[in-house]
Structure 1
Amino acid sequence: MPDVFKPLLLSACASLALAMPAYAHPDTTTFEQSAFVEAPEIVDCTLEDGTEAQCHQITVGYLPEGLEIGPFCPATLDDAGGIWGWSGENAGLYRVDGNFLRMLDGLGYRFFDEDGNVYSVDNATEQPTVDHACINVSVDESVEITMLLPVDSVMAKTPSDLGVVSKIGVALDDVPIFSDAPPIQVTGHMPALDTCGGHVDPGGWYHWHGTSTDVETVFDAQGVRADCALEQDASAQFGYALDGFPMFGSLEADGSVPVGLDACGGHIAVTALGETYHYHTSDDFPNLPACLVGVRAQNNFTTTATAGVGAQRAGEDGRNEAPRPEGGPGGMPPGFDTAADTLGITAEALLEAMTAAGGRDADLAEVAASLGIQESALRDALPLAPGQ
């Protein structure tokens, strides 16, 4: 190569290097090691775009040791429970207390009796017998959860939207992270979150619906009187998304406000992990990415539970001979799982379609069309509301 071209080639290579995104790799040593049921390992996996790859396989229990959870549902209108992101009239984040429940009552959602006792149901042992109940699920200490994170993150051709109860990632304390919980307008019920933004799945294991280590930024922005017992650090890493990219709080490592965020809430900037693409939280709730830019692994989330997200049904592996009452992900009405199975779709897809069409009063023709199924089949499969 003539020497005259070498400076041009070096300049071009330097420009290309600057243009190429920097991707951090998940580091399993940064997770809370005591919560692992077994040591993380690297296994062969297939990404959702069909690419053969390698993934970190991590298996955790129902709840990290020492993590205190709750409160969720208040016992009476005089008590204060957890928090809830209400999406109807007067939308916003609220403390689940008498003021909030009375507001819902004025909108046609009554969660309490004439004496001010809040209707509360443990989906692990019973099903709601009223139209509107606060869901407060007990834990199942036997449950194990297995998640896959790509060793090498791969950008997807287009970001994947995150609807209701979508799997997002795993926190550094080994607690799974999910998108927004199902709205009251669809399920009729409220699977209340605690003041750190988590609750128990119908399968009996705890998970986050928000960035718990920066949730008080949201409280301050929205005027919510609540405290999370976890240490708050708006610039700290919260966890990893299931596409392998790290998730941080609402500030950069140097305490500055992030700039140039994309539609998913991420960008490339310097972090404690080096310069890499990463997601940031916001001061809205749920304070999580709106979408994921990377490609996730197939079968990236499974549990040994017999209900809820990632559940294995009783008898499939000889375990869980006495399954919990059927409950859909995050507090769906009883029968949603069965309806979805009958229709040949996932419970998450059914919930998402119902939510988009307006909830319990959705136009079922519209829902059926969006799912590519017959309206008559949908009507036959959907469970009836209590008392019908």
Structure 2
Amino acid sequence: MRNVNQICSAVLMAGSLISPGIALAHTDIAAFDQSVFAEAPETVDCTLEDGTQTTCHKLVVNYMPDGLEIGPFCPATLDDAGGIWNWTGENGKLYRIDGDFLRMLDGLGYRFFDDDGNVHSVDNATTRPTVDHACINVTPDETVEITMLVPETPVMAESPKTLGVVGKVGVALDGVPIFSDAPSIQQTGHMPALDTCGGHIDPGGWYHWHATATDIDTVYDHANVKADCGLHQDSSAQFGYAFDGFPMFGSTETDGSPVSELDACNGHTGPTAIGETYHYHSSEDFPNLPPCLVGVQAENNFSTTATAGVGASRAGEDMRIEPPRPDDGGPAGQTPPGFDKAAEKLGVTVEALLQALGDPHGGHPDIAVASKNLGVTEAKLRNILPPPPNH
């Protein structure tokens, strides 16, 4: 195992150089809205995924910050406007979830409404969908707490870690967890609608972002989408910290100037409001988050008290009812054999891998779609995945 003082002195990747002369800024707990914490933040010993022994900030937050207004998600009818969705099929782009968008999907074979124009909407934490295509609108669970670990001092990885689908990105300064792109309709058949700030409720009952919410207007302007996020928009402000400990900012520098020389993870080294350090920037395309992380995350860095969804303990009684979901891995939430090792090789969570594959137990995952969402070639994915049962 490595000690934190054994960090590589220089890392070169896709146009960005982190040199020995550049300090790596410490994670600043004071930057967070202190009211979001369910417990006072503390510094704890932790182990990073590469074996580095170091210290992490332990952050415990509630299911959602007090006073945060969320929604709309699913529209009630074709005459209403709901949240947003990044459609990745034919005519792919970012859309407002409204009648025009849903009729377009209907023309492509994805019917989300009945003959009277009522949109099929379901809380998939309590109700199993009875239609092929439903808009997902989960009810919050106010009892849920989330625990996250963020390295106090970032450690550079030997190579960037691709986030893929529903990868752990970081935590916003309002305490809301941040995840990479949500599973596509092509994967699950359903649409876990995002609100106009780019967030939604996990099946476990807690809210999380799939976008840089404080700079999402930049995306709307670029995509010509008529939507409005109720949060204050500032393209130069810090949005949060990635789970590798590096800060995340909007699409411009802190002085409002354009960004330049970004690497493959949409980051670079330069001055920020918290010092000279490597940092990520949001983009003008959705999801406007880094597609990969250059640093190393802590082991077991995300857990919840929920009994369903990402980070769930799946223990206890009175479990919320869920339909079979790709990240469940099959009956009783058990991971199919070999998929934990495959996820490790791909640098993604088991949940993200299973969601990308859609139905590994059924033996007919869409490798083409899964490889695209995971950011790898079909050949590499087929080589890493365990063979189907009885093969």
Q: Do both share a fold (TM > 0.5)? A: yes
Shift of residue 325 of structure 1? 1.6
Shift of residue 18 of structure 1? 6.6
Alignment equivalent of 1:323, drawn from 300, 319, 325:
319
Say if 2:163 is the partner of 1:162: yes
Kept after mapping to 2: 8 A contact 1:327/1:334: no
Give the Cα separation in 2 of the matches to 1:230 and 1:35: 16
Kept after mapping to 2: 8 A contact 1:132/1:190: yes
Secondary structure of 2:146's aligned partner: strand
Match of 1:358 in 2: 369
With normalisation by structure 1, the TM-score equals: 0.86
Kept after mapping to 2: 8 A contact 1:268/1:275: yes
Shift of residue 139 of structure 1? 0.4
Q: Deviations over 1:127-178 (max 9, x none)?
A: 1111100000000011000000101101100000010000100000000000
Give the Cα separation in 1 of the matches to 2:274 and 2:331: 40
Match of 1:369 in 2: 382
Secondary structure of 2:169's aligned partner: strand
Match of 1:8 in 2: none
Match of 2:23 in 1: 22
Kept after mapping to 1: 8 A contact 2:132/2:189: yes
- For the aligned residue pairs, the C-alpha RMSD in angstroms reads 2.2
Say if 2:223 is the partner of 1:217: no
Alignment equivalent of 1:341, drawn from 329, 335, 338:
335
Consecutive unaligned residues of structure 2, counting only runs of 5 or more, are 1-17, 340-349, 358-364
Secondary structure of 2:101's aligned partner: helix
Kept after mapping to 2: 8 A contact 1:126/1:325: yes
Q: Deviations over 1:84-105 (max 9, x none)?
A: 0011111110000000000001
Kept after mapping to 2: 8 A contact 1:357/1:366: no
User: Which amino acid in 2 is paired with 1:28?
Assistant: I
Q: Deviations over 1:15-69 (max 9, x none)?
A: xx97533211111111111111100000010000011111000000000000000
Q: Deviations over 1:190-222 (max 9, x none)?
A: 000000000000000000000000000000000
Give the Cα separation in 2 of the matches to 1:340 and 1:151: 33
Structure with greater Cα Rg: 1
Give the Cα separation in 2 of the matches to 1:251 and 1:369: 39
With normalisation by structure 2, the TM-score equals: 0.85
Secondary structure of 1:342's aligned partner: coil
Give the Cα separation in 1 of the matches to 2:256 and 2:96: 28
- Say how many residue pairs are matched: 351
Give the Cα separation in 1 of the matches to 2:58 and 2:195: 28
User: Which amino acid in 2 is paired with 1:163?
Assistant: G
Consecutive unaligned residues of structure 1, counting only runs of 5 or more, are 1-16, 316-320, 379-388
Shift of residue 355 of structure 1? 6.1
Give the Cα separation in 1 of the matches to 2:380 and 2:270: 41
Give the Cα separation in 2 of the matches to 1:333 and 1:158: 26
Q: After the TM superposition, which of the residue ranges 122-131 and 66-75 deviates more from structure 2? A: 122-131
Kept after mapping to 2: 8 A contact 1:183/1:355: no
